[in-house]
Amino acid sequence: MVKPYTDLDDNGNVIVERGRVVTFDGFMTALYEREINHIVPNAKLYLELEVQGSCRVGLFHRSQAGVVTEFAMEKHVGKDPHEVRTIRIDFDIVGAEAKLGRWYFTIEALDFYSAAQESNEKSEADGGTLLHKAYRSAWNALGVEGTPTDVILRRATWGVYNAKLQEVRPCFVICTFRREKQLAGNVDRLVSALEAEYPGYGIIIVDNARTVERQEH
């Protein structure tokens, strides 16, 4: 589920309103490890986003027990609020069965003050938090040209690096009863289609009449 629910622009892109955080943690947006592990064990993965605007992107892992771990939190600020950039975060799949779960991400559309100030620059002493809030309100009220606007999410992709898929060895079973000519033609067509791409292929003949003579190809 995407929380909170977002609007879409005329091209179907997701709009993240300035100052808000949207979580992409649903069946169609999260990455489930169990399914990936069956196909590509110990995979090297990445999250790739194509966004417009200044934002902070977070990558999280939620275990089957519901324990959430923050894996990455990256801030991306551009001088041009209309600039479209590609963001990629690399990560490794969690291989232990006890830790299998899912990966999800968040996007925060930075407001004016957040885009100009790193959070570690503020001081908690001597009313630093209140001063920080006051600066934020003042910056947000300005709305001058060149400052951050809403973030547009154009594309989000989960990817696998150099996945080594398991070797495929196709095997065909043909049942026949006194159809030697048709059988020979089918075998020849299979051999022609398979021998170049799948040298380890197999063809099994079930001869119910025991009239087929074995031939070498």
Q: What is the block-wise mean pLDDT of the chain (217 residues), using blocks of 10 residues?
A: 70 89 90 79 88 94 89 87 91 65 92 53 48 55 56 93 73 91 90 86 91 74
pLDDT at 49 (0 to 100): 97
pLDDT at 173 (0 to 100): 93
Distances (CA, A) of 2 to 52, 91, 164, 202: 19, 22, 32, 47
pLDDT at 145 (0 to 100): 45
pLDDT at 160 (0 to 100): 87
pTM passes above 0.75: no
Supply 165's token pair.
């898929």
pLDDT at 123 (0 to 100): 46
pLDDT at 33 (0 to 100): 83
DSSP codes, 37-49: HHHSTT-EEEEEE
- Please state, in angstroms and rounded to a whole number, the distance separating the CA atoms of residues 43 and 36: 8
Question: Kind of pairing, strands 7-8 and 2-3?
Answer: unpaired
- Please state, in angstroms and rounded to a whole number, the distance separating the CA atoms of residues 54 and 199: 52
pLDDT at 146 (0 to 100): 44
- Please state, in angstroms and rounded to a whole number, the distance separating the CA atoms of residues 106 and 4: 11
Is 137 strand, coil or helix? helix
Residue 55 burial by CB count (10 A; 0-12/13-18/19+): exposed, middle or buried? Answer: buried
Q: Provide the residue type at 194 as one letter.
A: L
pLDDT at 39 (0 to 100): 73
